[in-house]
Structure 1
Amino acid sequence: MLTNPRQNQKVEQPAERAKLINHFRQIIETVNGQLAQQFKLEINRAHSFWGLCSRLYSKLAGHTLSIYLNRLLGKPDCLKIKALAFPI
């Protein structure tokens, strides 16, 4: 760097760390998207707190089971859970 950094300038992450963070961020965003779109996590129609908890737990368990089944079947990308219901 030829000049001093500005006072409000952010320090850049090393390339390896940025790549690792982006990898995990992509996985997290994929899981969040699947829970929102395929499992309709926002729509719960629960009448009580315990009903809400049980519906959320069942949706999370279904998502976890889908990933586990993909791993058992030897799929290279275990996050493609839609292929379990709609095989190509």
Structure 2
Amino acid sequence: MALFLVSRTDRTDYDEYDAIVVRAGDESTALKIATHGEEKHYGESAYWSPDFPGFDRDGVNLTVERLESRGPAGLILKSFNAA
């Protein structure tokens, strides 16, 4: 397993994620984690509810980068976009 940085390539709005760090076996699994969500229903309408708002379901607005797991102790990612 490795650490992967998944980041947005487009503009980030309020209450959206612009990046996450995940542990996965490969880039495709990291992207699958980042684009996870569930289809919800409201009456006869259905909509996609992503785990990470702002991340497109098909991953077209995301990049995946493998991170070095060795190095000094410290913060890996701090990404905050509040309303």
Same structural fold, with TM-score higher than 0.5 when normalized by the shorter chain? no
Q: Which has the higher contact order (CA 8 A, sep 6+)?
A: 2
Q: What's the TM-score once normalised by structure 2's chain length?
A: 0.28
